Amino acid sequence: MTTASQPIGVFDSGIGGLTVANAIVKKLPNEEIIYFGDTAHLPYGDKSADAIRYYCLRISKFLLDQGCKMIVVACNSASSAGYDVLLEFFRDQALFVNVVDPLVSAVAKRGFDKVGVIATKATVQSGIYHKQLHRVSPTLNVESLATPLLAPMIEEGFVHNQASKAILDMYLAHPGFVDIEALLLACTHYPLIRPEIDDYFQHQVEVFDSTRVVAEEVAFKLAQNGLLNPEKQHPHRFYVSDYTKSFEETTRLFYGEAIQLEQYQIW
């Protein structure tokens, strides 16, 4: 039987999902987080859908074995390629939240005419944002652009400098983004460069990322199922499938504070 005191599992292809984990911790300070970053296989954005689905199944099994009451797929590539198969295999064992549906819902409520989406190759090729946005808003004009240089740039710490500005400006100058009213940051790395994106559009375009809306969805689903933890009993745990010192140093950028990574080889 699932109980409120059980942890929430959060996973990503690397450490970008720590932005989502941090938002959940701030929203729900009584919850225990078990984070898994698949650093052995990052980035997922260049992997096939079948490979991503395999990774998602194996990681979710690991998190379920740790007793997680909910699993948050904190990766857009994994959410687009693997979420349905996770529900197929594990829906009776835990609650599941992805990063796509809450973001789509938040944007759809605003009644925009034209929005842009920046994401990894895998997320753009999946067409999931077009599909989901058109399902709730059939007349919405959606312009998507794969931005594969952004995630590795951010992980290497190239933010808020001339190099990051040049790469970002190149992408945001995409002709399809002319006259957009909103831009969806469909990668959990991208909130870290949100100020630069706001500056590029001179704050005339509404920018949406998944961190806050996913945390709110997690809180809603836990409350709906009577699984909000009244009191935190155990510390958070952070696992990676391949450890390097540089990963641990970069986690402060994504999580907002220093954390200790533990390598766990599940492959």
**Alpha carbon separation from 105 to 102, 184, 219 (Å, rounded):** 5, 12, 16
Is residue 18 within 8 A of residue 254, CB to CB? The reply is: yes
Binding residues for substrate: 12-13, 44-45, 76-77, 188-189
Which residue out of 28, 100, 187, 193 is catalytically annotated? 187
Is residue 13 within 8 A of residue 38, CB to CB? The reply is: yes
| The pair of three-digit structure tokens given for residue 201, joined into one six-digit string | 């559009």
What H or E segment, with its residue span, contains residue 207? strand 206-209
Beta-strand relationship, 262-263 and 237-240: parallel
Which residue out of 68, 75, 86, 240 is catalytically annotated? 75
Residue 206, SS3 per DSSP? strand
Is residue 86 within 8 A of residue 57, CB to CB? The reply is: yes
Known catalytic membership, residue 75: yes
Known catalytic membership, residue 68: no
Active site residues: 75, 187
